[in-house]
């Protein structure tokens, strides 16, 4: 885990007792005046109250404060949830001396439970007093739910003759699916970037990171990813050479991808990290559909947990993924570099012990070649273990 303070961002974390016991569960990111932002939210149609309020506020003012609580999703509560989210924003605005519309609220936790606004209000002065440019680790700890570890990443580079920084934090371990998942992610840079350009960069970054991960196929009500550019370095994107722009964009992409992979590596009950690569698909949509079918198959995932190279389950998942896979004789499947399926049947030289050797690894790749075109995709997922069932069966007890 590596990270760098980002000039123009101060953070703090506190315990608001939203969980039973004493643990950090409330965090803020204070953004310097003039900070630009880009935000992407859950695709779940029943989005949580903080998502609705954050979208509303983004249409009015640029954010100056990100307020994040764990322990309660503030979702599925109708008008009460919206009221509570607004109350939190107004209370934070008063403590931090900004406009309520400059506060973006984010929540994560159990759906359907009322947010204890009073506890959050009581903790806000402590957060204001604790603000620090070095507050990333504590803030990253405060936003966790069923996560077992902090997810924090960043880097420093040269650009425009000065040091530039990119740092991000994320949370997520279950209800993870492409097109946003049960995750929150906050990434910051001190480069000055126009909001429209920032949105384009975030959109590209998501394709290889938070849109390319899945645990079990569920998508939550609260998901959000925020990319902010404070401009506190005094360097603008237009000041950079082409190679420096490329290096900065790659830093954003790499930070997002590392955080996304960290979510899958910390997935609830997971014992294996699996990369799924689909090659020679007819279209990008076909490649995505095949990758998701394999990644979401309970039979494939439980076989992975057992270390069982049951390639028939992979082939069956590919076959049910889309309606235009009519040429089984073109299908190839590899486990890492071991050819398992060729021409739609078991590879002539394949031996079971080869597959076992791959599936026993903590990390491996399932590579599917459709033999139909030039499109490809990559998706990150995990196995499905006994502990996943136990964690989610006992989530509220």
The 10s digit of each residue's pLDDT in 302-361 is 999 999 999 999 999 998 887 677 788 899 999 999 999 999 899 999 999 999 999 999
**Cα 357 versus chain centre, distance:** 31
CATH class of 273-393: alpha beta
> At 219, is the pLDDT very low, low, confident or very high (cuts 50, 70, 90)?
low
Q: Which of 182, 189, 221, 255 is catalytic?
A: 182
Half-sphere exposure of 289 (CA within 13 A, CB side): 15
Tokens representing 65 are 């404060």
Note the pLDDT of residue 172: 83
**Helix or strand holding residue 57 (H, E):** helix 49-58
Any catalytic annotation for residue 182?
Answer: yes
List the domain boundaries for the chain: 9-265, 273-393
Residue 176 scores a pLDDT above 70: no
- What are residue 77's phi and psi, to 5 degrees? -120, 10
What pLDDT score was predicted for residue 88? 98
Q: Coil, helix or strand for 96? A: helix
Compute φ and ψ for 131, nearest 5 degrees.
Answer: -55, 135
Is residue 301 within 8 Å of residue 391, measured between CB atoms? no
Query: What confidence score (pLDDT) does residue 2 get?
Result: 81
What's the pLDDT band for 182 if we cut at 50, 70, 90?
Answer: low
CA–CA separation, 115 vs 71, rounded Å? Answer: 9
Residue carrying the six token digits 């998502």: 51
CA 171/CA 168 separation, integer angstroms: 11
CB 372 within 8 A of CB 286: yes
Instruction: Tell me what pLDDT residue 183 has.
Output: 80
| Phi and psi at residue 331, to the nearest 5° | -75, 135
Closest CA to 28 of 150, 135, 145: 135
How many CA atoms are closer than 13 Å to the CA of 30, on its beta-carbon side? 21
Would you state the pLDDT for residue 325? 78
Quote the tokens at residue 180. Answer: 């946003």
Which helix (H) or strand (E) segment holds residue 246: the answer is helix 242-265
Q: What is the mean pLDDT of residues 173-195?
A: 80
Residue 179 reports pLDDT greater than 70: no
What does pTM read for this prediction? Answer: 0.92
Averaged pLDDT, 106-115: 92
- CA 352 distance to own-chain centroid: 36
∠202-321-315 over CA atoms, to 5°?
A: 115
Contact between 373 and 283 under an 8 Å Cβ cutoff? The reply is yes
What proportion of the chain, given as a percentage, has pLDDT over 90? Answer: 80
Per-residue model confidence as pLDDT tens digits over 47-61 = 899 999 999 999 999
The CATH class that applies to domain 9-265 reads: alpha beta
Query: Residue length, the chain?
Result: 397
The residues near 113 (Cβ < 8 Å, ≥ 6 apart) are: 72, 73
Rounded CA gap, 306 and 151, in Å? 27
For residue 364, is it left (φ>0), alpha (ψ between -120 and 50) or beta?
beta
Specify the pLDDT at position 43: 78
Mean pLDDT value across residues 95-114: 95
Question: For residue 174, what pLDDT is reported?
Answer: 63
Contacts of 380 (CB under 8 A, 6+ apart): 212, 213, 214, 260, 261, 264, 273, 274, 275, 276
What helix, strand, coil percent values describe the chain, rounded to 5? 35, 25, 40
């Amino acid at each position: 885990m590596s990270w760098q303070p980002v000039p123009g961002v101060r953070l703090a974390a506190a315990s608001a007792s939203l969980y039973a016991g004493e643990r950090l569960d409330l965090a803020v990111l204070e953004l310097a005046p003039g900070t630009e932002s880009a935000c992407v939210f859950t695709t779940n149609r029943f989005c949580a109250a903080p998502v609705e309020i954050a979208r509303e506020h983004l249409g009015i003012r640029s954010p100056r404060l990100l307020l994040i609580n764990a322990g309660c999703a503030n979702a599925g509560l109708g008008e009460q949830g919206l009221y509570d989210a607004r109350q939190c924003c107004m209370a934070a605005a008063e403590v931090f001396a900004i406009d309520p519309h400059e506060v973006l609220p984010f929540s994560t936790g159990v759906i359907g439970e009322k947010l204890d606004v009073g506890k959050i209000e009581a903790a806000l002065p402590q957060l204001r007093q604790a603000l620090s440019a070095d507050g990333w680790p504590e803030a990253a700890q405060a936003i966790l739910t069923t996560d077992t570890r902090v997810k924090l990443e960043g880097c420093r580079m040269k650009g425009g003759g000065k040091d530039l920084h990119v740092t991000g934090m994320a949370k997520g371990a279950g209800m993870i699916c492409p097109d946003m998942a049960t995750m929150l992610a906050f990434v910051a840079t001190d480069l000055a970037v126009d909001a429209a350009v920032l949105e384009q960069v975030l959109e590209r970054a998501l394709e290889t990171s938070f849109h390319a991960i899945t645990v079990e196929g569920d998508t939550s009500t609260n998901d959000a990813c925020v990319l902010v550019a404070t401009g506190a370095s005094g360097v603008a994107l237009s000041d950079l050479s082409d190679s420096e722009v490329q290096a900065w964009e790659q830093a954003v992409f790499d930070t997002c991808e590392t955080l996304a992979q960290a979510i899958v590596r910390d997935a609830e009950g997971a014992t294996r990290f699996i990369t799924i690569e689909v090659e020679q698909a007819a279209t990008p949509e076909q490649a995505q559909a095949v990758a998701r079918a394999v990644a979401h198959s309970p039979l494939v995932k439980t076989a992975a947990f057992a270390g069982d190279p049951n390639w028939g389950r992979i082939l069956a998942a590919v076959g049910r993924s889309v309606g235009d896979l009519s040429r089984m004789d073109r299908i190839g499947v590899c486990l890492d570099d071991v050819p398992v399926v060729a021409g739609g049947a078991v590879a002539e030289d394949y031996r079971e012990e080869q597959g076992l050797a791959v599936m026993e690894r903590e990390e491996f790749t399932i590579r599917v070649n459709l033999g139909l075109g030039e499109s490809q995709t990559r998706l990150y997922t995990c196995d499905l273990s006994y502990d996943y069932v136990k964690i989610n069966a006992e989530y509220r007890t």
